Amino acid sequence: MEAGDREMGSMKLQTLQLLPDEQVATLRQQMVESQAAYQRKLQSSQEAQHRQAVLVQKLQGKVLQYRSWCRELQQRLEIERGGVLSYRSEAKEEHSLERALVQLEEEQQRCENLAEVNTLLREHLTKANEVNTALREDVRKLTADWTRARDELELKESEWRMEREFFDGYFRCEHDRLISLWRQVVTFRRHFLEMKTATDRDLSAMKADQIKLSGSILVSCFHLSSGTQYWESNILERSALRDQTQQLCARAQEMEKEVYLKTQEVMRLQVKGDVEKEELQLRVMELSALLAQSQKQNEEKEKTVKTLSDTMEILEASRLAVEYKASLIRDAKEETLSLHQVIKDITQAVLNDTDNAVSISWTERSQHPESSNLSLLLSSNDMERAVVLVHEALSRRCQAVQALKEQLSASQDSVHSLLHQQRQQEEESKMLRQRFQNLEENKKTLNSQMQHLQSLVETLSSDRVNLEKSREELQQQLKASEEEAWRLRRSNTELQLKEDLAQGEKEEQQLEMERILREREHL
């Protein structure tokens, strides 16, 4: 019994060490903090997506404005080119025309430089697209890993839920069995107390009867001794009463011996009953202590199961939150990819417009020799007008190129911001992966705790078997006590019968003595 108590105490301490309240509180606090951090990150991601959408809308508006402006500029250039050809056919001075051609060549050189810059920017954009493709592939792999891990977690959670239902059913059955055993012990204790009370009452009655019987025997012996002394004084009656006196003395001695033996037997039975009563009381106390300990252990197990249930509910809520955040992250990634595609389309359109402008400049350059052939026919006023128009066109072209540069820098800034957001999303994915690993570790811990609880349940089942054996032993002892009580009652009945016989004989002796005394008085 002591070894079983020590094992139960050690298992209880291990259970308390496995699930401390501080660890559960810390886990809940960490989950709340992580949920708040995820919400903040989600809010910042949504704000960044909103800013990106606004920026893309602005870029689309600017691109549309730039396209319309380029179309207008192309129409003006065609009109001015026709006017310049007409003016050049009428020009007369070659020096002014050559200077205009030099300026046109400088502008063409600038356009070539801008084309090279656009080529470099296109290469950078291609590299950025490759990086985005690699990042997209990494995100896809991470999403696949996350999906596979989530499926495994759901499978393990379903298995754990089945094990938990099985354990709850088994625990309820064991609890009902312990309650029924406790009721049987209480009933046995009540019957034992009733039997003890009845036995004490019978023993006290037997003691009183024994005292009365011994007193009456002593009185009878005293009367007999006084009568014998009186009879001895009477020589005439000695011969007649000697035989009766000897018979009465022999019967008195036999009755004294019998009463002494019965008294010894009653005392021995009383001592034996007291010893058995003490043993039964000790056994009942041990069973009561064992049952109280088992009830405490059941309460602790109920608390442990409740704590595990709360922990699993928290983990389930966290898993749902993580899935919701993962879906939001996927939506954000899809929106980011769509923004990348829109920016790519805008950049391609800008580059196409730039290529058209460069081709127009090359066509103008190819047409310069024809205009130089007609330069002798131009007048000075028409040449000045042509130069002014060319300067205006070049200034507009420079402004357009500057606007394109600004738009390109803005696009690069947006691409950098998108890359920064992509890195942030990768960091969030790493954090989610680490969180998933922590959840896996917590699940392993819960599985180990479940195994420990199963071992505790097995120990309780063995204790229940021991309690069943103890109950059977107590029932056997109770049966033996009932048989002993029945024997005591039978002995008590026999003693009462003997006492009645002794009382009758005593009354007969008294009547005989009275008759003898009356006869002596008559004599």
Residue 382, judged by CB atoms within 10 A of its CB (0-12, 13-18, 19+), counts as: buried
CA dihedral in degrees (243, 249, 250, 254; nearest 10)? Answer: 160
* Maximum average pLDDT range among 345-359, 374-388, 416-430, 491-505: 491-505
Instruction: Please give the share of the chain, as a percent, with pLDDT higher than 70.
Output: 29
Q: How confident is the model over 8-23, as pLDDT tens digits?
A: 444 444 443 334 456 5
Domain total for the chain? 1
In a domain, 34, yes or no: no
Side-chain half-sphere of 12: how many Cα atoms within 13 Å? Answer: 17
Closest CA to 52 of 420, 440, 505, 304: 420
Per the listing, tokens 């043993």 go with 279
Please check whether residue 294 is in contact with residue 462, taking contact to mean a CB–CB distance below 8 angstroms: no
- Expressed as residue numbers, the domain containing 517 is 45-522
Find the range with the poorest average confidence among 112-121, 182-191, 197-206, 257-266: 257-266
In a domain, 141, yes or no: yes
In a domain, 5, yes or no: no
Q: Which residues pair with 92 in a beta bridge?
A: 378
In a domain, 36, yes or no: no
Residue 358, judged by CB atoms within 10 A of its CB (0-12, 13-18, 19+), counts as: middle
> What's the token pair of residue 115?
């084309």
In a domain, 10, yes or no: no
Query: Which residues are CB-contacts of 265 (< 8 A; sequence separation ≥ 6)?
Result: 491
Q: What's the CA gap between 181 and 175, in Å, rounded?
A: 10
Closest CA to 265 of 195, 216, 218, 210: 210
Query: Which residues are CB-contacts of 466 (< 8 A; sequence separation ≥ 6)?
Result: 4
Find the range with the poorest average confidence among 81-90, 103-112, 125-134, 371-380: 371-380
Considering Cα of 396, then 398, then 400, then 406, what sign does the dihedral take? Answer: negative
* Maximum average pLDDT range among 4-8, 267-271, 378-382: 267-271
Residue 368 has pLDDT above 50, yes or no: no
In a domain, 494, yes or no: yes
State residue 19 phi and psi, 5-degree precision: -125, 75
CA angle 175, 179, 185 (to 5 degrees): 145
In a domain, 423, yes or no: yes
Radius of gyration for the chain, computed over Cα atoms and rounded to the nearest angstrom: 59
Query: Which residues are CB-contacts of 337 (< 8 A; sequence separation ≥ 6)?
Result: 136
Cα 82 to chain centroid distance, Å, stands at 84
Q: Which residues pair with 91 in a beta bridge?
A: 378
Side-chain half-sphere of 516: how many Cα atoms within 13 Å? Answer: 18
> What's the token pair of residue 252?
């008195």
Query: Which residues are CB-contacts of 417 (< 8 A; sequence separation ≥ 6)?
Result: 48, 52
Q: What's the CA gap between 474 and 467, in Å, rounded?
A: 10
In a domain, 40, yes or no: no
Residue 436, Ramachandran bin (φ over 0: left; ψ between -120 and 50: alpha; else beta) = alpha
Q: What is the pLDDT of residue 154?
A: 78
Per the listing, tokens 């009109």 go with 79
Q: How confident is the model over 66-117, as pLDDT tens digits?
A: 667 767 766 777 776 665 555 555 555 556 666 666 776 776 677 677 667 6
State residue 379 phi and psi, 5-degree precision: -95, 170
Strand, helix or coil at 235? helix
Residue 155 has pLDDT above 80, yes or no: yes
DSSP class of residue 79 equals H
Q: How confident is the model over 295-339, as pLDDT tens digits?
A: 676 566 566 656 655 656 665 665 566 566 556 656 655 655 665
Higher pLDDT, 321 or 465: 465
Q: What's the CA gap between 365 and 247, in Å, rounded?
A: 172
Can you give 243-254 as a three-state secondary structure string?
A: HHHHHHHHHHHH
Q: How confident is the model over 208-238, as pLDDT tens digits?
A: 666 676 666 666 556 555 555 555 555 445 5
Number of residues written out for the chain:
523
Residue 241 has pLDDT above 60, yes or no: no
Closest CA to 473 of 279, 273, 194: 279
> What's the token pair of residue 11?
């298992």
Q: What is the pLDDT of residue 157?
A: 76
